[in-house]
Amino acid sequence: MLKSSIGSKACTAKSGRHFSLVTAQSRAIGSISRRIVRKYEVNPSFAAEKRGLFIPVYSSFLVFLFLLCLFFFAGCVTSSGSNTDEQTAMIETKEFGKTADGVPVQLFVLKNSSGMTVKIMSLGAIITEVHAPDRSGKLGNVVLGFDNLDAYLKGHPCFGAVAGRVANRIAKGKFTLDGIDYTLAVNNGLNHLHGGIKGYDKKVWDSAALPDGGVKMSLISPDGEEGYPGTLRVSVTYRLTEKNEIRLDYEASTDKATPINLTNHSYFNLAGQGDVLGHVLRLNADQYTVVGEGLIPTGEIASVKGTPLDFTTPHTIGERLLKTGLTPPGYDHNFVVNGSGASLRLAAVMVEPQSGRTLEVESTEPGIQLYTANFFDGKIIGTGGVQYPKHGGFCLETQHYPDSINHPNFPSVVLRPGTSWQSSTVFRFGVSK
């Protein structure tokens, strides 16, 4: 079991170490200077001979001593005053179990100073639990999942996992890149979904706790896996901040041109149980990608105005859910996030009125998929014995648009050798008054 203490306590300790270092070095330098002075006092002839050189050298030495102390003091102040909103106060690592072929699966427990707790395992880089405070300060688990590895190994609807190599759908599992036709594994009717039959959600990632309080998950996806070209090296780093934020930072590189579109597929329920129809959602999205059969985009980007997809002002999930036209009813739509550029921007705000819990989602991605667990039937029993009914959770999957590889008018998902793919998402938990 590994525990790493960081955050404000670590900054204080670091600050103390800096002051001790400054004091020790100042004393040492002072001792040296006194010995030099005594040498001049004991040996007058030596002093007389070297007096012309001694005065400027000694003056320079004093200036150097002053600047050295100032430098260490400035570093101490910077270290003690920065990173006040940075990562978790503690990380605990333990074995969660082993896969059928004997591969160990690690579980990382991140906890900040206010008590918020996030659990992440190396299988699928899955967020298994998130315990966030309600209006009264009571902590409760707000994501769907299981508290044992066996339940995950038996199969699940992508609870909390990183989906890839390409999240969401690719029409008929086919695309053409640089004049070469590729055929992918098909696992969603006639289409390819979330990376295929054995996507990243089913892989055991290399994992490690970082000195700065993060947890880094990494894997190598070989050329040809699920039909994709190129060996892809990918990582995702999770951090829990003192602002009750879960931050995900993705990176990837390849040795051959390939599509990439990673997302985290966590199902949230801010009440902790029941359905999410009473949750209130606002999306920073004036447009959505229109879909046809099999939820494959037609290529059209349309306005949400006047449709059940208009969450530019707050609405409950259940208010217009039966009018989306999907079978079974619900939401499973990609929204075009307002704004552009590589910086984080607000994509969604969800509020659960009874508990007061809120969730804000920021991302560098151009799209966000709202999914409302339309196929749940109450048969899944999750963490703590909680039953998951129809619409028992919601997903807010930050992403590039579905089937982007087949739509030149969509933002590109192509990664090429010599370049790096990067993406960031922040889930910020709070309470409403």
Sign of CA dihedral 182, 185, 190, 195: negative
Copy the structure tokens of residue 306: 């006047």
Give the pLDDT of residue 340.
Answer: 87
Over residues 105-150, the pLDDT tens digits come to: 999 999 999 999 999 999 999 999 999 999 999 999 999 999 999 9
Half-sphere exposure of 186 toward its Cβ, with a 13 Å CA cutoff? 11
Give the pLDDT of residue 341.
Answer: 85
Spatial contact of 254 and 415, defined as CB atoms under 8 Å apart: yes
Is 401 strand, coil or helix?
coil
What is the rounded distance in angstroms from the CA atom of residue 140 to the CA atom of residue 128?
13
Spatial contact of 376 and 267, defined as CB atoms under 8 Å apart: no
The distance in angstroms from the start CA to the end CA of the chain is: 39
- CATH code, 91-431: 2.70.98.10
Strand partners, 359: 350, 429
What is the rounded distance in angstroms from the CA atom of residue 429 to the CA atom of residue 408?
36
Spatial contact of 276 and 376, defined as CB atoms under 8 Å apart: no
Give the pLDDT of residue 37.
Answer: 35
Interhelix angle 44-81/8-42, nearest 10 degrees: 170
Give kind and range of the element (H or E) at residue 71: helix 44-81
User: Annotated catalytic sites, by residue?
Assistant: 265, 397
Is 30 strand, coil or helix?
helix
What is the rounded distance in angstroms from the CA atom of residue 398 to the CA atom of residue 366?
8
Task: Provide the CA 25 distance to its chain's centre, in angstroms.
Answer: 41
What is the rounded distance in angstroms from the CA atom of residue 172 to the CA atom of residue 175?
9
Give kind and range of the element (H or E) at residue 273: none
Spatial contact of 220 and 115, defined as CB atoms under 8 Å apart: no
Give the pLDDT of residue 87.
Answer: 44
What is the rounded distance in angstroms from the CA atom of residue 170 to the CA atom of residue 193?
7
Q: Is the pTM of this model over 0.85?
A: no
What is the rounded distance in angstroms from the CA atom of residue 205 to the CA atom of residue 228?
19
Q: Which residues of the chain have pLDDT under 50?
A: 1-63, 65-85, 87-88
The total number of residues shown for the chain amounts to 433
* Closest by Cα among 116, 133, 396, 415 to 258: 415
Considering the chain, tell me which residue range(s) the CATH 2.70.98.10 domain(s) occupy: 91-431
Query: What are the phi and psi torsion angles at 177 (to 5°)?
Result: -135, 125
Residue that has been written with the tokens 């890839």 in this structure: 164
Spatial contact of 257 and 246, defined as CB atoms under 8 Å apart: no
Strand partners, 281: 315, 350
Distances (CA, A) of 237 to 4, 174, 283: 16, 30, 26
- Calculate Rg over the CA atoms of the chain: 28
Residue that has been written with the tokens 């082993």 in this structure: 98
Copy the structure tokens of residue 395: 């997903």
Is 78 strand, coil or helix?
helix
Sign of CA dihedral 308, 309, 311, 315: positive
